[in-house]
Structure 1
Amino acid sequence: MNQRLQSLSHWMQQEQLSFALITSTANVFYLSGFYSEPHERLLALLVFPNDEPVLICPQMEVAQAKRSGWAYSIIGYSDIENPWEHIYTHMNKRSVTVENVAIEKTHLSLERYEQLCTYFSVRSTVNVEEKLRQLRMIKDEQEIAILRQAASLADYGVEVGVKAIAEGKTELEVIAAIEYELKKKGVRQMSFATMVLTGAKTADPHGTPGLASIQKGDFVLFDLGVILDGYCSDITRTVMFGQPNDEQKQIYHTVLNAQLAAIAASKPGTEIGAVDKAARQLIEQAGYGSYFTHRVGHGLGIEVHEYPSMNATNTMPLEPGMVFTIEPGIYIPDIGGVRIEDDILITENGAEILTKYPKEFILL
């Protein structure tokens, strides 16, 4: 078994668990190397404390699972078959005594939990997610190499977007230009719906792009990322179309200084909360504290939002191998907003910035 499966199996031995039922796409991919979005169909990985794992997937995806490098048993099922019956038969052949089962409590639906309990006499359940979060939080060299490439493609996306800006062009037109050029680079999927916002809409941290057109005097905010080989990137840049007024200059430079302070605070052993506070303190001192309405960042990897949560109350120390975003922002309703976001890797020596698109106040 690979090191990830071995680590999980060893933990299961310590916890005296019968088996683990892993059903989320992200965790199945992390443990098996097989990436699948099964929609309503069941995708699952059964992991045992002292036996080889087994993958369950729709029959039409069995060949893909094998090509992904999965070397153990695969249970494929058709659309007219109940996968739980296949699982029950397989477990009987292995003579598995089912008592304590590890599940992903935030992912396993009530319907599937009831199926699990119908086919097996489950005595108790343990949440496996905390263990998997710990494993996934520290990236290995292969993961880091992919994340660097994904960050570079995110940089390119912003570059394309900035070049596409023109007076009267709509947010969606700029998005179309970005995604078209990234597709030509081989990017099949974005980390999330690409965001380009202009004018007062930049004051919405999770605004919805539409047919708003870019005008002189507008902030233009880009928030985008790509998925490369199963791993996400995430970058935000805010640029100025035309000449800024004094308040726009102050907002931008306050956010930039806050982001740089948070990056400078990102070192092995530093509590995560101190990173958030480093950015928040500068924004509060500038009088914009009430307009910084979210945490300073989030973990990044197979999912665009994963552990650790980069919030002010998190006392977890930073460790080499952690990858996360730092993205302070100021959002003033009816005026506009600025966010600057980079992907950060903690190394033995401090913080490596993976996203490299320029952060000086760009005037177009």
Structure 2
Amino acid sequence: MNARLENLMQWLKEKNVEAAFLTSTPNVFYMTNFHCEPHERLLGMFVFQEKEPILICPKMEEGQARNAGWAHEIIGFTDTDRPWDMIAKAIKDRGINANAVAIEKEHLNVERYEELTKLFPNAAFTSAEEKVRELRLIKDEKELSILREAAKMADYAVEVGVNAIKEDRSELEVLAIIEHELKTKGIHKMSFDTMVLAGANSALPHGIPGANKMKRGDFVLFDLGVIIDGYCSDITRTVAFGDISEEQTRIYNTVLAGQLQAVEACKPGVTLGAIDNAARSVIADAGYGDFFPHRLGHGLGISVHEYPDVKAGNESPLKEGMVFTIEPGIYVPNVGGVRIEDDIYITKDGSEILTKFPKELQFVK
């Protein structure tokens, strides 16, 4: 039994909850080291206080689950099976008659919830998210090592992108150069859809790259990340293509100052809200507060956006082992946008910046 399962089982005992049913791909991966994208098929796992846990997945994925190290029961179903009947038998064989079951309320759909109510007609359903988030919040040394490697590859991807900037080359062409190069380095998947945004598009926080051409005098914004061994990186850098205006320079320097101030504030005990304020106050004082429309950052790990939110009003304190992003931005229509994002690891007495690509304003000639 791995330590993560043991921790969850102990929590079930403490809370007097007979079973937990996890259904999201990230949480199943966290508990089993088995990654599966089930699409419309069922993926899940039951964890009990004492009894052997059960993994439920398509039968064609069983071999991969075993190869990932899962040593306990697997209910593998074909496309003609009804997995809930197989689950009901396994629950009955274990003698489980639950009065309380922990579920992922934010993930479980209504159809599957109704199946659970048939399995456990007398059960109250409570949230499993809080405990699993608590477990995933603090990264161990193995996780940190993978996250460092993912950050290093993200740095390289930005370097490739910056070197690919050319007059009249489109955002999608630069994006393709980046991702092709990453494939040659063994990267199977990005953390999310890569963003390469030039000129007016850089003022769209979540813009979609397209046929827009690179022009001198523009900002070019890169927001990307890679997945290595199931863990994500996430970096944003903005560069100048040729000479830019005084206002563009002022915007860039303001974002950089805010980002540096927030990073400097990162140490155990400081609240997430205070980190947000450290950056936001710099941007507001420079007159750009209305042009910074999003939170400062988010947790990072198996999911590219995970608990916690680095946002105003969050009084949760930083703890050693947390990993999250710091990514202030200013987005001014018809002028351009700047975002600077790093992945931050909280150490015993401060922080480590995992992403290393330079943040000072760079000019591509």
Report the TM range for the smaller structure's normalisation. over 0.9
Would you say the 8 A contact 2:248–2:335 is kept in 1? no
Q: Give the C-alpha shift of residue 201 in structure 1.
A: 0.7
Secondary structure at 2:57's aligned position in 1?
Answer: strand
Does the 8 A contact of 2:117 with 2:123 survive in 1?
Answer: no
Which shows bigger deviation, 91-100 or 354-363? 91-100
Find the counterpart in structure 2 of residue 129 from structure 1: 129
> After superposition, where does 1:264-275 map in structure 2 within 5 Å?
264-275=264-275
> Any gaps of 5 or more consecutive residues in structure 1?
none
Which residue in the other structure is 1:354 paired with? 354
Secondary structure in structure 2 of the residue aligned to 1:308: strand
Match of 1:329 in 2: 329
Residue of structure 2 in register with 1:280 after alignment: 280
Displacement of 1:98? 2.1
Task: Show the counterpart of 2:139.
Answer: 139
Report if aligned partners of 1:299, 1:324 keep a CA contact under 8 Å in 2.
yes
Which residue matches 2:110?
110
Q: Distance in 1 between matches of 2:284 and 2:16?
A: 49
State the partner residue of 1:193.
193
What residue is the counterpart of 2:82 in the other structure?
Answer: 82
Equivalenced residue count is: 364
Post-superposition offset of 1:206:
0.4
Q: How far off its partner does 1:183 sit?
A: 0.6
1: distance between equivalents of 2:264 and 2:200? Answer: 31
Letter in 1 for 2:113: Y
- Corresponding residue for residue 259 of structure 1: 259
- Whether the 8 Å CA contact 1:101–1:122 is kept in 2: the answer is no
1:143 aligned counterpart, secondary structure: helix
1:54 match: 54
2:99 corresponds in structure 1 to 99
Q: Is the 8 A contact 1:274 1:312 kept in 2?
A: yes
* 3-state SS of 1:91 partner: helix
Letter in 1 for 2:230: G
Provide TM-score, normalisation by structure 1.
0.99
TM-score of the pair, normalised by structure 2: 0.99
The equivalent of 1:363 in structure 2 is 363
Post-superposition offset of 1:120: 2.8
Quote the residue 1:65 is aligned against. Answer: 65
Question: C-alpha displacement at 1:119, in angstroms?
Answer: 3.1
Shift in Å at residue 50 of structure 1?
A: 1.2
Structure 2 match to 1:155: 155
Measured in 2, the distance between the counterparts of 1:83 and 1:270 equals 47
**Deviation string for 1:13-32 (max 9, x for gaps)?**
01111211100000000011
Query: Which residue identity is paired with 1:217?
Result: G
Cα deviation, 1:185-228, whole Å, max 9, x if unaligned, reads 11100000000000011111001110000001000000000011
> Counterpart of 2:35?
35
Unaligned runs of 5+ residues in structure 2 are: none
Could you list the runs of 4 or more consecutive aligned residues of structure 1 that deviate by over 4 angstroms after TM superposition? none
CA distance, structure 2, for counterparts of residue 70 and residue 25 of structure 1:
15
1:95: how far off? 1.1
Deviation at 1:343, TM superposition (A): 0.2
User: CA–CA distance in 1 between the matches of 2:3 and 2:266?
Assistant: 28
How far apart are residue 239 of structure 1 and its match? 0.2
Letter matched to residue 68 of structure 1: A
Deviation (angstroms), 1:68: 0.2
Q: Measure, in 2, the Cα distance between the counterparts of 1:259 and 1:163.
A: 24
Q: More deviation in 46-55 or 220-229?
A: 46-55
Aligned-CA RMSD value: 0.7
